[in-house]
Every structure is written in C-alpha cells, then in structure tokens.
Amino acid sequence: MIPVAADSWQSGRRSASLPATVAAMLVAAVLTQSLLTPVNADVSWLITLCERLLGGDRLYVDIIEANPPASVWLYLPTVWLAQRLALAPEPLVIGSALLGAVASIAATGVLAAKLRGLPSGWWLMTGAGFALLILPGALFAQREHFALMLALPATAAIVRIAERRTPNPAVLAAAGIAAGLLMAIKPPFALALLLPALWAAVRVHGWRPFFFPAAAAALVLAAYAAAVVLVTPDYLQLLPMLGATYLPMRDRPLNFLLGPMLVVPVALYLLGRVAGAERTPPLATALFLASAGFALAGLMQGKNYLNHSYPGIALAVVALAVLLAERTAAPASRRLAIAAAALLIGLQLFRAMSVQPPPGLVEAIARAGPAKPRLMTLGTELATGHPAARLAGGRWVGSRPSLFTAAAARYVGLRDPAVRRWYREDLASFVRDVDARRPDLVLVEDRSRSWLLADPAIRRAMARYRPVTRAGTVEVWRRR
C-alpha cells in the first residue's frame, strides 16, 4: 500500500497538472472537431431547420420536425448569432458546446471539492474532461452532449445533499434549473437525476432538501410547456401522428442486450469493482446511478442509436475515474481494470469517430453540380442529406429531412386508416416540394428506391430528373 505522505505528494502533483490536462483535452477537442469530424446529421439538420425558421418558415407547418421544440430552440440562438456575424453556424455551434463543456467541468469540480473523502480532484476532472471533450467524437454538440453537461454538476449537487452538505440556495436553484432544462431536452432524461436523488433521499431520510431545486425544475418545465402551447401549438397537432408511427419504432431487444447502451456501463461498473478500491466514494455511486438512468432513458426511447448510448457511457467513465482515485490493496487488479477499461472506452471512441456522411457523397454532389445546388432526398435516412448538403455548399429545400414518417408507417403497418393517411401525406409532401421548390439535385437511396418510385405521383415528379453519378448506396439525380 502507498504510504500516506507519498499519496498526498502524488495527489498534489496531479492537482498542479490538472489545468494543463484539461487544456490539452480542450485543444484535442478543437482539432478533432475542426479536422476529423464534420457536424453530425442530427445537428446539421437542426441548424438547417433554424436557418429556415429565421428565414420566415413556420415550425411544424412549413418545415416538419419529429422532435419537440426544445430540440430546435437549443440551437436557435447560436444560429441567429452566426447570421448576425455573417459566419457559418457550425463553428459557433461547436464553440458553444466547447464552452458548455468547460463550464460543466468547472461547476462539477467546484461542487465536488467539498465532498467528504474525495482524495484527489484530478481523476474526477480528468474523467469529466474526457467524457465531455473527447469521448463524444462525431456526436459532439448533440442534444445528449448538452444533456450530459447539465447532468454532471447536478449529480454532484445531489451528492452534496446526500452528505448533508447542502449547497446554498443559489446553487440549489441552479441545480434545479439544470434539471428542468435536462428534462425539457428529453423527458426520459429525468431518470438520470431521479435515481441518484432516490439514493440521496434514503441517505438523508427524506425529500425535504430537494423541495427547493425540484420547485426550480418545475418552473422551468412549466415555462417550457407554456412556450410550446403559445409559440408552437402546431406541434400538438403532430402528436397523434408521432405516437402512431415514430414512437412505436423500436430496435430488437437482443440488440439492446448486446449493444453498448447497457453492456458498456455495466462492464465499467464491474471493472471498478475489479480495481479493488478500499471504499466506494458516494460520488462514484451517484454517477453510476445517473449512468443507469441515462441507459434506462435510452431503452424507453427504443431506437438504440449511438448518441442515445453516449451519456450513460460517459457518466460510467467519470464514475470509474472517481473510483480509480481511491487507494487499493491490489495494484495488479487495478492495472488490469485500467487496461480493460481503456480498451473498452477506446472502442466506443472509435465508434463515435466513425459517424460520418456517406463516403464520397459530398464529392458526388459537387460533380453533379451546379454550384450551390438546391437539394432534397428521396429516401428515409436523415444522414443521407445531412450534413453532406451543407458540406457541398448546397441548400436544403425540402420541408422534411427525409421520408421518415412514411418509413415509420410501413414499420407499424398500413392497416390503420390514420396511419395510411400520414403515409400518403409524407409522400405527397415530397411531390409538393419538388413542384414548388424545384431542387437541382435529388439524393436517391438504393434501399428505399423501389417502394418509393412505385408511387405514381413520386414517379411522375422524378421523371423530371435523371441519374448522373453515385456515391455508395446513394445515387445523385439532376434536373433535366
């Protein structure tokens, strides 16, 4: 076992290197996002959507989005600022995520500094920095990324309550506001804070310390609900369609059981046990519970997308880092756990970095021309047109990112008259957009080409186009 004096000296040396460590990860994040990973499809579409709204289109009327307004409003101020400064919005969106990540790391460190028995903040802050700056890879600035920024300091505040070191009212209000914003982004994310809050309530024998932050969270949610009703009432008209088509689309249970959403957090928890820490800090327990909450939220959403796995994995990484700060009587087991965790986390980082536009599509769009083309997709995948259209200097003119509602309707079956109506409306929207917006290029997906072109109206609309080039499974058609 390491002597106490040596342990203290090592801890002090690590603390002194902490600013440089976080700064190095910040630089690595800037280089990664600038050189290796374009803005991902979800964020690219939401940026496009914000530009259309700022140009006068009406959300859920002129341009359709499956997600609630919070998904749009999250990016709207940054896109508005980019227009005011005559800049491309992507760097500002990435920059806002970088600033948010740094603020989250700092707030988490300040809240955790007063926790009992945290031997060194180096492991916590390094783990948080890695989780927020490096691990997202091409998922950077996703809604789940911003959600994690809110969840980390809020979890630290919960542990303060659990240790009866309740923060002052201003900090409690800030934690409650963070919780409200987290739930506004996606309501299932409430589980990420509910599980550690339940644990903390058991420790302090009641919910009284949570009343004030819960009230702050409720005010945020009430304000958001009022804004939805007053500003975007048309979203409420879409709920029956979303409930009947989009929400029932779920991945197979076996894919969840074998996929990273559940496997990786559980594996990191078990590796923490293998590391043989002499004790488990309350912060590590709360972070693992928050990780489990995000994993459950992913299960509730049912899609098994990589971005849905990210926040649960990231919090498990931070929890493991907190555990590794503890002394152990079994250094060999600790080294084995670190090596296995590094391999597992490296695989997740590789997967996150692999989220890219269809290979060669940007170049195919440039070959097909013209310069700054007006674009649409005949297909069901969001990632086909976004962000390739923006990277190629094109302008999206469709009212929808893809024919996803039609795909969802086919998934649940077309026996229900309402589902058939929404299916037909989705196909009709494509025809209307082609007639009214006259795109220069249409990106046609191989996987959905046959059943889409089987529709007479779509076939007539596409008669005005001819295929001119291809990138993998996507063919580029140009207006005749």
Question: Range of 284's domain?
Answer: 18-353
Beta strands in 289-420 (DSSP E): 374-378, 395-396
Q: Of 304, 324, 353, which residue sits at a domain end?
A: 353
- Within 8 A by CB and 6+ apart from 387, the residues are 38, 39, 40, 41, 43, 44, 357
Together in a domain, 379 and 344 = no
**What are the tokens at 295?**
């994993």
For 113, list phi and psi in degrees, rounded to 5. Answer: -60, -25
Establish if 399 belongs to a structural domain. Answer: yes
Q: Among 455, 452, 461, which residue's Cα sits nearest to residue 479? A: 461
Task: Please give the pLDDT value at position 8.
Answer: 39
What does the pLDDT look like over 298-323, one tens digit per residue?
Answer: 999 999 999 999 999 999 999 999 99
How far is Cα 480 from Cα 434, in angstroms, rounded to an integer? 13
Establish if 11 belongs to a structural domain. Answer: no
Together in a domain, 332 and 191 = yes
Secondary structure letter of residue 39 according to DSSP: P
Task: Please give the pLDDT value at position 14.
Answer: 58
Together in a domain, 93 and 149 = yes
Task: Please give the pLDDT value at position 15.
Answer: 59
Establish if 319 belongs to a structural domain. Answer: yes
Together in a domain, 284 and 371 = no
Task: Please give the pLDDT value at position 120.
Answer: 67
Task: Please give the pLDDT value at position 20.
Answer: 87
Q: Of 322, 353, 384, which residue sits at a domain end?
A: 353
Establish if 9 belongs to a structural domain. Answer: no
Amino acid identity for residue 150 in this structure: L
Task: Please give the pLDDT value at position 277.
Answer: 87
Together in a domain, 107 and 222 = yes
How far is Cα 218 from Cα 181, in angstroms, rounded to an integer? 10
Establish if 6 belongs to a structural domain. Answer: no
What is the tally of structural domains in the chain? 2
Task: Please give the pLDDT value at position 419.
Answer: 96
Q: Which long-range contacts (CB under 8 A, 24 or more apart) does 228-231 make?
A: 228/68, 228/69, 231/69
Establish if 1 belongs to a structural domain. Answer: no
Strand order in the sheet with 441-445: 395-396, 374-378, 441-445, 474-479, 465-471
What does the pLDDT look like over 408-431, one tens digit per residue?
Answer: 999 999 999 999 999 999 999 999
Establish if 327 belongs to a structural domain. Answer: yes
Together in a domain, 319 and 382 = no
Residues, the chain: 480
State which H helix or E strand residue 160 sits in: helix 143-162
Q: Which long-range contacts (CB under 8 A, 24 or more apart) does 421-427 make?
A: 422/241, 422/244, 422/245, 426/400, 427/403, 427/452, 427/455, 427/457, 427/458
Together in a domain, 366 and 339 = no
Q: Of 329, 353, 377, which residue sits at a domain end?
A: 353
Together in a domain, 177 and 212 = yes
Using CA atoms, how far residue 182 sits from 21, 144, 397, in Å, is 28, 9, 31
**What are the tokens at 225?**
């609900």
Establish if 2 belongs to a structural domain. Answer: no
Together in a domain, 325 and 235 = yes
Together in a domain, 326 and 368 = no
Secondary structure letter of residue 327 according to DSSP: -
Together in a domain, 372 and 464 = yes
Inter-residue contact 412 to 248 (CB < 8 Å): yes
Together in a domain, 145 and 64 = yes
Inter-residue contact 417 to 387 (CB < 8 Å): no
In this structure, are strands 441-445 and 465-471 parallel, antiparallel, or unpaired?
A: unpaired
Report pTM: 0.94
Listed as ranges, residues in the chain with pLDDT below 70 are 1-16, 117, 119-120
Inter-residue contact 426 to 242 (CB < 8 Å): no
